[in-house]
Structure 1
């Protein structure tokens, strides 16, 4: 179990993480979401003892990381896929990690096989693709067979087969009673993987809830409408008191009413309809609504001192 209590991190006048409180419980995959700059990576680094909190604590089974004996046996993490010496082979990279925590050579071979790197185990890590480096990082996280696991953007660089594999792996680890904490920008993948969500924005906690509850609370189903006369359709729907907006692809999105009601309104007003389809509430929509005021950089924005 991972416990976060009043956790904050300041860099001078900048507050990267601001008083977070949440738990990563055993037996489920907890998704960690937030816009760029929200403080996700900083939070994970503090859990792993790589950054010291300004206030508060991050504990694994009741202890901070630095007080864990043989820490790889308690918690494994993939925070940076490239964190391996390019001149070492995959096998020797994992071997020195294992020896540092009194883990046997047999386990090194087991995790290499588990992540699918058997054929390249004796190749230098510097020759690895991003996807292969991700698999090596995951092997390192699994090396001590820990009860708690952290993955920061684990699907980066993976092909569809690899993404399916890591999703199945994480859900399997949680089913074994482990605490699995994973961040990702891929909403579609997170929707298939996570049971619970922790969402932050500008370093502050925005949500700590189950996946289904989050989507139901912060998103809604709607009817997608495509017509050659969108402005007339909008006027008809507005007059009927139906909320409507224009989607990213130009189609109209009507909230609330069933398709039959919209179809009848279109028929009465002589409107042609090319598409009238129900759309379920989505994690992406819920996330965008919740974090709309917490996005640090919008399209067209530049950080201070940046150039186009």
Structure 2
């Protein structure tokens, strides 16, 4: 178990983490989400004693990381996969870690086989691909067979088989009663892996809840109805106390209704249905909605008329400076990047 209490970290004028309090419990995969700059990596570094809190406390099974005599036997972590000596063979890198934590040498071979690197155990990591480096970092985290595991972007560089493997591994570790804490920006992958979510924005706690509850509270669920008689179906729904709206493709969208009831209404009134489906938001949509006001770094993309369109979700504050002004009437819109080219 990992316990954070009023955890705060300030770098000069920058408040990176602001009074975080939550508990990461065993037996489940807990996802750690937040926009870029939200303070996720800083929080993980403080858990491992790599950064000292400005205020507050963080404990691992009731102890500070510095109090753990052989820390790899208590908590394994992957924060920076490339943080290895590039000239030291993969096997020797893990052996050094094992010897410093009282772990028998046979465990090195076990974890290399577990992550699929047994064939390159005698090779130097400086020649490894990003995915192979990730696997070596995961092997180091598993080395002490710890009760707590913490991963920061564990699927970076992994191929589809590797992503499937690490997802199943994390879920299996949680089923064994271990604490699994994982940070990732891949919402689709997190939706398939985590059961509980901790979400932060600008260093503050935004949510600490189950995956299903998080999506339900931060998204819209509706029933989609497509029929060759939309006006008649609309009248049936209104008469039943529902309020359908027409979607962009002409289908009816009904909030606050259940698909079985709507199907029964259609059947009772002889309305033919071509589609009746419940539309649930994805984790990505729920995350974007909750964190809209917490995004620190906004991206832009070129619009059709050459203007810069902010890539921010609905409800988010526009970035400083706003979008470029539209061209004047009769003036041809500039090509994207034309201003930059003229200034060269």
Query: Which TM-score tier does this pair reach, normalised by the shorter chain?
Result: 0.7 to 0.9
CA offsets, 1:200-254, max 9 Å, x none?
Answer: 0000001111112111221232356899xxxxx9xx99xx79576989x9x9976
| 1:207 correspondence with 2:180 | no
Deviates more, 1:23-32 or 1:251-260: 251-260
Q: Distance in 1 between matches of 2:38 and 2:245?
A: 31
How big is the shift at 1:22? Answer: 0.4
The aligned residue for residue 294 of structure 1 is: 294
Q: Distance in 2 between matches of 1:253 and 1:96?
A: 60
Q: Distance in 1 between matches of 2:258 and 2:107?
A: 56
With over 3 angstroms needed to count, the CA separation of the structure-2 counterparts of 1:127 and 1:183, relative to structure 1, is same
The aligned residue for residue 149 of structure 2 is: 149
CA offsets, 1:239-274, max 9 Å, x none?
Answer: x79576989x9x997644567979x9xxxxxxxx99
With over 3 angstroms needed to count, the CA separation of the structure-2 counterparts of 1:100 and 1:280, relative to structure 1, is same
Q: Distance in 1 between matches of 2:199 and 2:247?
A: 27
- TM-score (norm. length: structure 1): 0.84
Q: Distance in 1 between matches of 2:157 and 2:252?
A: 34
Measured on the aligned residues, the alpha-carbon RMSD in Å equals: 3.3
How big is the shift at 1:142? Answer: 0.4
Gaps of 5+ in 1: 228-232, 265-272
The aligned residue for residue 133 of structure 1 is: 133
Q: Distance in 2 between matches of 1:55 and 1:245?
A: 52
Q: Distance in 1 between matches of 2:89 and 2:243?
A: 62
How big is the shift at 1:299? Answer: 2.3
With over 3 angstroms needed to count, the CA separation of the structure-2 counterparts of 1:160 and 1:253, relative to structure 1, is farther
The aligned residue for residue 122 of structure 1 is: 122
Q: How does 1:1-308 map to 2 (within 5 A)?
A: 1-223=1-223, 242=243, 255-256=255-256, 277-300=277-300
Q: Give the conservation status (yes or no) of the 8 Å contact 1:16–1:38.
A: yes
Structure ID, larger Rg:
2
With over 3 angstroms needed to count, the CA separation of the structure-2 counterparts of 1:64 and 1:284, relative to structure 1, is same
Secondary structure of the corresponding residue to residue 106 of structure 2? helix
With over 3 angstroms needed to count, the CA separation of the structure-2 counterparts of 1:225 and 1:134, relative to structure 1, is farther
Secondary structure of the corresponding residue to residue 86 of structure 1? coil
Deviates more, 1:197-206 or 1:294-303: 294-303
Q: Give the conservation status (yes or no) of the 8 Å contact 2:244–2:252.
A: no
Q: Distance in 2 between matches of 1:297 and 1:189?
A: 22
Secondary structure of the corresponding residue to residue 98 of structure 1? helix
Secondary structure of the corresponding residue to residue 57 of structure 1? strand
With over 3 angstroms needed to count, the CA separation of the structure-2 counterparts of 1:107 and 1:31, relative to structure 1, is same
Deviates more, 1:186-195 or 1:202-211: 186-195
Q: Give the conservation status (yes or no) of the 8 Å contact 1:242–1:257.
A: no
With over 3 angstroms needed to count, the CA separation of the structure-2 counterparts of 1:132 and 1:245, relative to structure 1, is farther
With over 3 angstroms needed to count, the CA separation of the structure-2 counterparts of 1:88 and 1:244, relative to structure 1, is farther
With over 3 angstroms needed to count, the CA separation of the structure-2 counterparts of 1:108 and 1:292, relative to structure 1, is same
Secondary structure of the corresponding residue to residue 207 of structure 2? strand
Q: Give the conservation status (yes or no) of the 8 Å contact 1:70–1:101.
A: yes
Q: Distance in 1 between matches of 2:246 and 2:203?
A: 31
Q: Distance in 2 between matches of 1:12 and 1:155?
A: 32
With over 3 angstroms needed to count, the CA separation of the structure-2 counterparts of 1:106 and 1:222, relative to structure 1, is same
How big is the shift at 1:278? Answer: 3.4
Gaps of 5+ in 2: 266-272, 301-309, 312-318, 321-339
Secondary structure of the corresponding residue to residue 31 of structure 1? strand
Count how many residue pairs are aligned between Structure 1 and Structure 2: 295
Q: Distance in 2 between matches of 1:122 and 1:63?
A: 36
Structure with greater contact order relative to length (CA < 8 Å, sep ≥ 6) = 1
